[in-house]
Amino acid sequence: MQAEKNNALLLVVSAPSGAGKSTLCNRLVEKFPAMEYSVSCTTRAPRGGEKNREHYHFLSREEFDSKVARGEFLEHADVHGNLYGTLQSTVREALRQGRDLIMDIDVQGAAQIRSACAALPADDPLRRSFVDIFIAPPSMDELRRRLSDRATDSEETIEKRMRNAEKEMRERDAYAHLIINDQLDAALENLVQVIHAERKKRA
């Protein structure tokens, strides 16, 4: 993967659903308008207000499977029974243009990119740009409260997300950075500090 400018950051952000990752990432993109949000592919149905190609590339299972077969994904995973994946082309294009990219992906996808990076030479643009961040809720009770208050999921889906959250929380030590999203402004400030520190390392 060749980059013309190689100080861009590939921010890989994971969190249990409901921890506030979308809220934080959206606030971050407002603060850093040059930062691009990576649009993933998924087989799940759009939620109210979600637009194709803006929030996700919404694909049928067959379309997703053929992209897997053609090797188009940098990573892909089954999350809560639906398939999600990041296209190689999305990441390659951002790196080529020297743009920062923020990826909201689950712990399985982050692990795939982490091990792919570890196998690359130290000066490879993908490896150089990779920064992984885990966002955790202050407690599991608060996570449940946020999922209920968000009112986008059925009780059954919330239970599934809570079970998955227990597993995801066990992966948090694999990430270079851990941010507890208790007070939103403080968590955003921590995230901004991580970005400044990572930029400084590469300057």
Whole-number Å distance between alpha carbons of 97 and 77: 27
CB 7 within 8 A of CB 203: yes
| Residue 99 interacts with ligand ADP (CB under 6 A): yes or no | no
Which helix (H) or strand (E) segment holds residue 25: the answer is helix 21-31
Count CB neighbours of 167 within 10 A. Answer: 11
Whole-number Å distance between alpha carbons of 68 and 16: 25
Whole-number Å distance between alpha carbons of 59 and 74: 17
3 or 79, CB closer to ligand 5GP? 79
Conformation bin of residue 23: beta by default, left when phi > 0, alpha when psi is -120 to 50: alpha
Which residues between 41 and 60 bind ligand ADP (CB under 6 A)?
Answer: none
CB 46 within 8 A of CB 57: no
Which helix (H) or strand (E) segment holds residue 109: the answer is helix 107-118
Count CB neighbours of 153 within 10 A. Answer: 17
Among the residue ranges 12-20, 65-73, 106-114, 171-179, the one whose residues contact ligand ADP (CB under 6 A)? 12-20
9 or 111, CB closer to ligand 5GP? 111
| Residue 125 interacts with ligand ADP (CB under 6 A): yes or no | no
Which residues between 55 and 84 bind ligand 5GP (CB under 6 A)?
Answer: 75, 77, 79, 84
- The three-class DSSP label of residue 178 is strand
| Residue 176 interacts with ligand ADP (CB under 6 A): yes or no | no
CB 33 within 8 A of CB 23: no
| Residue 184 interacts with ligand ADP (CB under 6 A): yes or no | yes
| Residue 191 interacts with ligand ADP (CB under 6 A): yes or no | no
71 or 121, CB closer to ligand 5GP? 71
How far apart are CB 203 and ligand 5GP at their closest, in Å? 29
How far apart are CB 52 and ligand 5GP at their closest, in Å? 14
- Which of 9, 12, 13, 15 is the binder for ligand ADP (CB under 6 A)? 15
Among the residue ranges 18-26, 60-68, 91-99, 117-125, the one whose residues contact ligand ADP (CB under 6 A)? 18-26
| Residue 105 interacts with ligand 5GP (CB under 6 A): yes or no | yes
Q: What does the binding site for ligand 5GP look like in residue numbers (CB under 6 A)?
A: 17, 40, 44, 75, 77, 79, 84-86, 104-106, 108-109
